[in-house]
Amino acid sequence: MSEADPGLVPALKRLVEPATLGDPMRPLIWVSKSMAKLAAALTEMGHPISADTVGAELAKLGFSRQSNRKADEGSHHPDRNAQFEHINAKVVAAQARQQPVISVDTKKKELLGNFKNGGTDNRPKGDPRRVNVHDFEDKKLGKVVPYGVYDVTANAGFVSVGITSDTAEFAVASIRCWLERMGRQRYPQARELTITADCGGSNGARVRLWKLELQKLADEIGLAIHVHHYPPGTSKWNTIEHRLFCHITQNWRGRPPTDRLAVVELIGATTTNAGLKVESALDTRRYQKGIKVSNAAMKRLDITADLFHPEWNYTIKPRPP
C-alpha cells in the first residue's frame, strides 16, 4: 500500500506523532488512536485506506498497542540509594548478631463476598466460576485488612487479618502477635528487633501513634526496636512485597474471598519452592481511627534518632517499669 501511495507513511506519522506515548529514543513506540479513526483521517487527507492496512503499516513503523504499566514512583529523593544501602547494612549486621529482622506492610483491603478475583484457576472447560457483576461492598460481610510481617532471615511470614481499620495500633498489634506465635520461639535469645517499613500508611515515618505503640511494645517485650523506613515513593522495594505478598496473591488468584475464614485459610496455605511458610490469624478487635498523640506523650518516648536521616532511622528502647 505504501509503495502505491508514497505520501501515506508521512501522513500516518504526522497523525500518530502528537499521540505518541512512548520515549522516541526507544525502538518500540505506541499510539492511543484507534485504527478506524486513523483510517478515517487518512482517507479524508486523500489516502484511502482500511483500518486493517493502517495496523499493518503501523507495525512496519514499530508501533504496537500497549496498556499502562505502573513504573513511575514520583521524584527520586537524592538519598534514596543511600538509604537503601543503609537499610541493607543494618539488616545484614542484625542477622550477623542472630537478631530478628522483619519487613512489615499492609496488603490491600479485600472485599468479602462472591466477588471477582484476578487471575485464573483450573476448572472444567466451559464452567467458569460465577461471581457478582458489581463489586459493591456487602454490608454484612464488609472488608478485611491483611497486615503482614515477614521474617527476612527465616523466609517465613505472618499475616494478621483485621476486620476494622488499618491503624498504627493494628499494625503494632500484628507485630506483637507475630512475636507471640513465631518470633519468640525462633529467637529465644533476642535482645533487639529490626523493622523495615514503608514511609507512609499505618506504619509511616511521621505517624505518631506508630511510634507510641512501638514504645509500648518495647516496654512489654524488653527489646530495643530499630526502625528503618524506605524513602517516599519506593514502597515496592520493601522486602515483604516481593517475598510474601506477591506469593499470597498468586496462591488465591481466581478464588473469591467469600468470608473471613476463607481469607485466613488462603493466606495460610501459601508456600513456595524456596521454602516460604506463612501463618495467618483473624484479629477481631476494633481499632479506633483518628487517635491523636500529644506532644507530652511524644516527649515521654525513649527514642533515639540515627545520625543518617533521623526521620527514617531511629531506635526505641524499653523504658524502666
pLDDT of residue 21: 45
The domain spans of the chain are 8-60, 80-316
Enter the DSSP assignment of 231: P
Contact status, residue 83 vs residue 231, Cβ threshold 8 Å = yes
Helices (H), the chain: 8-16, 35-44, 51-60, 80-96, 168-178, 184-186, 208-221, 239-240, 246-251, 260-268, 295-299
CB atoms < 10 A from the CB of 192, how many? 17
Measured CA to CA, the distance from residue 201 to residue 154 in angstroms comes to 26
pLDDT of residue 139: 63
pLDDT of residue 231: 93
Mean pLDDT for back-to-back runs of 10 residues, the chain (321 residues):
75 66 45 76 87 86 68 65 93 96 89 54 52 54 87 96 94 98 95 96 96 98 97 87 87 68 88 91 94 96 96 97 84
pLDDT of residue 177: 97
Answer whether 0.75 is exceeded by the pTM.
Answer: no
Roughly what angle, to the nearest 10 degrees, separates helices 35-44 and 8-16?
Answer: 130
pLDDT of residue 20: 45
Q: Which residue has the cell 521474617?
A: 151
pLDDT of residue 40: 85
The secondary element (H helix, E strand) that includes residue 150 is strand 143-151
pLDDT of residue 142: 67
pLDDT of residue 250: 79
pLDDT of residue 262: 82
Q: At residue 176, what are phi and psi to the nearest 5 degrees? A: -60, -40
Closest CA to 29 of 50, 59, 71: 59
**CATH class of this structure's domain 80-316:** alpha beta
Residue 281 forms beta bridges with which residues?
Answer: 160
| 54-87 core/surface letters (b: 16 or more CB in 10 A; e: else) | bbebbeeeebeeeeeeeeeeeeebeebeebeebb
Enter the DSSP assignment of 238: S
Measured CA to CA, the distance from residue 304 to residue 198 in angstroms comes to 19
Contact status, residue 178 vs residue 102, Cβ threshold 8 Å = yes
pLDDT of residue 5: 80
CB atoms < 10 A from the CB of 234, how many? 18
Helix (H/G/I), strand (E/B), else coil: 278: strand
